[in-house]
Structure 1
């Protein structure tokens, strides 16, 4: 069996689900537009530059989850999927996932974005397995904090090993391992797998992929 790992934002999606979740909450009047948007843009620029403080970002990004009951958040997410996410899913992205599915590969979305936002998106692709940053819950309510290792940069490797160990597996159990990503933040995991693929890559990843001879594809 082969293992196919997919980054989500700007890889399988033609956009960023985390950023768009904030934009959606602003559109619903649930966040202050001026305050939230400025911070969101600043964090996104830090992410693209490879200097993101992941814990500071998560304190910012997970706070809205703590301010609403779970049933309200789930209703909001259904609307968000229709308005923001499905328009960002291209036929090429669906076809890539389907090729790996038809091959019988184990499919996993691995993303820094929190699992509340991303689990339904993975399901939209028909992918049952998700490794995302885990928001803390107490008595069924989000606290606004993170639990465990954020699935970001080297943390993706940590979380992948933990997930595989929970299945009594390791990377060596797979004939071939694939990872698709757009971001230089994912270089640690891209370097680990057998088949790294740069997808609509940022300039840093594009330069690295060209030098390393990795495939570069577009899902747009």
Structure 2
């Protein structure tokens, strides 16, 4: 079996979800009143990052935990509705060439996975109309129809992406050399190196240099 692995930020979606999450919360008709509290929690973490005392990976993980705490005591349906509304803003900024390829992989019978650090609930709502076999994102703690207390999230990033992919594909005989992966960042290198057909999409400087050296396809 062949697989096609897609990142979300700056790959399917042309921009960083992180930026949209901030803006959407700030302007949301229901939740904007919680934005200031969110920012008060976030600023110490962000300042540590800017001062070089916290790595970006750790800062982003903490930011996601703080963001999700904004919705504690919400029902699952309220959270899903929030991300459905966000999805309406995102669709115009999907990468049409990447979507075309995603549909092509589906038509070819490849197993299509989206693997991202974004919240799994967000991915489920935003990508619900696409032919994706598995959405592997940072798991939101839901139980009995409600968001549970957010203590620590397992952020799907770098090596954690490989773990999630291996778990999803453990019962399949995968032809990795004939498989595809799409990503934008040097942090996606572990995933891109899994397959025989890696594609760098809007790559950052480090990934672009690596892709050129290896002769990979680059989608600007």
TM-score normalised over the length of structure 2: 0.82
Q: 2:186 matched to which residue of 1?
A: 184
Contact 1:153 1:186 in 2 (8 A): yes
> In structure 2, which of residues 101, 119, 123 is the aligned counterpart of residue 118 of structure 1?
123
What runs of 5+ residues in structure 2 fail to find an aligned partner? none
Contact 1:122 1:129 in 2 (8 A): no
What runs of 5+ residues in structure 1 fail to find an aligned partner? none
- Partner SS, residue 4 of structure 2: strand
1:202–1:103 distance in 2 versus 1, CA, 3 Å: same
Q: 1:20 matched to which residue of 2?
A: 20
User: Normalized per residue, which structure has more strand?
Assistant: 1
Q: 1:77 matched to which residue of 2?
A: 83
User: Normalized per residue, which structure has more helix?
Assistant: 1
Contact 2:41 2:66 in 1 (8 A): no
1:42–1:14 distance in 2 versus 1, CA, 3 Å: farther
Runs of 4+ residues deviating >6 angstroms: none
TM-score normalised over the length of structure 1: 0.82
| CA distance, structure 1, for counterparts of residue 129 and residue 33 of structure 2 | 25
Q: What value does the CA root-mean-square deviation take over the aligned residues? A: 2.9
Q: State how 1:122-201 maps to structure 2 within 5 Å.
A: 122-143=127-148, 144-146=150-152, 149-165=154-170, 168-171=171-174, 173=175, 176-201=178-203
Q: 1:102 matched to which residue of 2?
A: 107
| CA distance, structure 1, for counterparts of residue 185 and residue 33 of structure 2 | 30
Contact 1:23 1:37 in 2 (8 A): no
| CA distance, structure 2, for counterparts of residue 158 and residue 39 of structure 1 | 28
Q: 1:89 matched to which residue of 2?
A: 94
Measure how far apart 1:37 and its partner are: 9.8
| CA distance, structure 2, for counterparts of residue 197 and residue 6 of structure 1 | 10
Q: 2:64 matched to which residue of 1?
A: 58
Contact 1:135 1:145 in 2 (8 A): no
